Amino acid sequence: MRYFFFFLSIINISLLSCAQSGKVQYTKIERMIAMRDGVKLFTAIYIPKNSSVKIPILLERTPYSCNPYGEDKQRAQLGPSRLFAGEEYIHVYQDVRGRYMSEGKFEETTPHIANKRSNKDVDESSDTYDTIEWLLRNIENNNGKVGMYGISYPGFYATAALPNAHPALKAVSPQAPVTDEFEGDDAYHRGAFFLMDNYSFMNGFDYPRDTPWTSYPPFCSQEIPDAYTYYLKMGPIKNANELCFDNKSKIWNEYLLHDTKDEYWQTRDIRQHLQNIKPAVLVVGGWYDAEDLFGALKTYGAIEKRNSKNNNRLIMGPWTHGGWARGNWSGYSTIDFQTNTAAYFQKAEFDFFTNYLKGAGDLTAAEATVFETGSNKWKEYPVWPPANAKPVNWFLGNTKTLSFTATNTASGFDEYVSDPANPVPYMNTNRGGRNNEYMVADQRFASARKDVLSYESKVLENDVTLSGPITAHLFVSTTGTDADFVVKVIDVLPDTAGRENQKDVAGMQRLVRAEVLRGKFRNSYSNPEPFVPGKITEVKYELNDVAHCFKKGHKIMVQVQSSWFPLVDRNPQKFMSIPKADEKDFQAATMRIYHDAAHPSSIEVLQLTR
């Protein structure tokens, strides 16, 4: 969960430097800026020396520290990328309310207050507004225009600044923004708790503080050489408090207390407030982002849906969480993109801010710019998903086939036993922390298991290109009263795949997209329902979007399983509040996936037509 930026902030602390030769020279000042309720937020401000023109402000608000502290210490890099080193901006970094050196109480993804009745009604929109107002009045030589950006949690703060935005806020770029943590971002995915990420992240993030400070200690120091074994030995998820948190992690306890999409999560879904948006928006995400792929896609979609007139762009590339901020991103895991995709994005980002904050530059970005994996090509569209992407169904069939035509058989199903004592691992490697390469990992290890069903197409005679969301439409039964369903879409490479400028991938079953649904939420995230044992039940849910070309000569595979451990916590397969489960509640269950004429389990995709 948000690992890249948590540790990036730590790295940045150690890279202290004065302004370097050939770059803009800066004077740094630090101020405690008072919000409307009197709480003061620590703010570091870098002002170009000897500027002869009025210049805009670039603002990042973060829960990860605006280190280094001290007016005699400066960041090694200012702005979103190195392209900004030679451009004059007033760079501003702020510790958000309740974090590091700022006063106040921290709230997880602070709920937005649409109708503020007094100065006591504060949220991230009002804190941003008050910060901008102070900067405009107190920092000389600004041109009255402000831009804002942020990746991951700072991406949330960028999004949260959009409703009721300050008139001077002209350009905002939410990048991998935390958006809805129950349906698809860091905490839960479709109601299933992401165990490993949250346990590790909260250990280093959520230690309680009584006063502003410059660093957070961990709750516990542990060596975890093998995550699968460690979390299996942990037992029920409620044991985490005894093992590490000692019941002191506020956010961890909130996550487990609110295990349905109740008011806690509903008020934190920023999408409902993304209307009447005035600033220009550039939403950024990565196809291999294990944390906030959902957030990027859904933030863009919400702005499009709720604003008939908007200036809203989307860029999606072949990146993990924040990979677009790296100096070079020309490959990932076993994939060679044959181009520096990070540099491609950073030029577009630079042009975006230059255009809206300085009235200069060459802004040519389309409404939607996406990197199509498989073909390794950038594509531009006037709308996302593309208008010429049409729904197509892939049907699960007898003899584990994947067909493009519906079955007419009177009966048919496949079954497996899902055992919480022997859950399916999310990846075929032993590592203490989450390996983000699981997003494209070889699934042959899963195909070999008896508790994973694999459905495979014939060899493709032509390229098949998907652009948009994927919907799993299953007909299932279980001998239990709850069950998780994990659906994976996989690109099966031919035995000659090594000739395609790839890295040792002959015969690989490369993951393209996967997602989990906690089955009791199949009809509502707020009102869970048990399964009736043995009853055929419809389960339908949406996986995140893809832009992927299955090349001629490849095959397409769909896998179905009921655990994904320890990425996702174990489901006891018994209808109950899982954070309250004891070891005795976990039970094996038999799952059936039906594929007859009356129950045609399928995967719906959006396929490009030429």
**Is residue 202 classed exposed, middle or buried when 0-12, 13-18 and 19+ CB atoms within 10 A define those classes?**
buried
CA-based nearest residue to 60, from 5, 2, 4: 5
Section 470-480 average pLDDT:
98
**pLDDT tens-digit map of 381-437:** 999 999 999 999 999 999 999 999 988 888 999 999 999 999 999 999 888 999 999
Per-residue pLDDT, 2: 52
What is the residue extent of each domain of the chain? Answer: 3-180+272-381, 389-608
498 pLDDT band, cuts 50/70/90, is: low
Strands 280-286 and 312-317: parallel
CA-based nearest residue to 434, from 196, 121, 192: 196
Q: What is the mean pLDDT of the chain?
A: 94
Q: Cβ distance 370 to 319 under 8 Å? A: no
362 pLDDT band, cuts 50/70/90, is: confident
Please determine, for residue 16, whether its predicted confidence score (pLDDT) is greater than 70. Answer: no
pLDDT above 70 covers a percentage of the chain that reads: 95
Tell me the CA distances in angstroms from 423 to 176, 243, 610, one per residue in order.
30, 21, 42
Per-residue pLDDT, 410: 84
Q: Cβ distance 353 to 171 under 8 Å? A: yes
**What stretches of 161-246 show up as alpha helix (H) in DSSP?**
195-205, 227-234, 240
Please determine, for residue 451, whether its predicted confidence score (pLDDT) is greater than 70. Answer: yes
Which residue(s) pair with 148 in the sheet? 59, 172
Section 224-238 average pLDDT:
96
Q: Cβ distance 454 to 448 under 8 Å? A: no
Section 294-314 average pLDDT:
96
Please determine, for residue 13, whether its predicted confidence score (pLDDT) is greater than 50. Answer: no
Section 441-461 average pLDDT:
98
Neighbours of 550 (CB within 10 A): 24
Please determine, for residue 288, whether its predicted confidence score (pLDDT) is greater than 60. Answer: yes
Section 515-529 average pLDDT:
98
Can you tell me whether residue 516 is helix, strand or coil? strand
Which two three-digit tokens encode residue 418?
């899902």
Section 48-77 average pLDDT:
95
Please determine, for residue 326, whether its predicted confidence score (pLDDT) is greater than 50. Answer: yes
Tell me the CA distances in angstroms from 568 to 199, 344, 482, one per residue in order.
11, 34, 15
Structural class in CATH, domain 389-608: mainly beta
Please determine, for residue 500, whether its predicted confidence score (pLDDT) is greater than 90. Answer: no
Per-residue pLDDT, 7: 44
Per-residue pLDDT, 24: 86
Please determine, for residue 223, whether its predicted confidence score (pLDDT) is greater than 90. Answer: no
Q: What is the CA radius of gyration of the chain?
A: 24
Per-residue pLDDT, 170: 98
pTM for the predicted model, two decimal places: 0.95
- Is 3-180+272-381 CATH 2.40.50.100? no
Q: Cβ distance 228 to 425 under 8 Å? A: yes
From CA 192, how far away is CA 568, in angstroms rounded?
A: 7
503 pLDDT band, cuts 50/70/90, is: low
Report CA 28 to chain centroid distance, whole Å.
33
Please determine, for residue 9, whether its predicted confidence score (pLDDT) is greater than 90. Answer: no
Please determine, for residue 88, whether its predicted confidence score (pLDDT) is greater than 70. Answer: yes
Tell me the CA distances in angstroms from 395 to 408, 467, 543, one per residue in order.
11, 19, 16
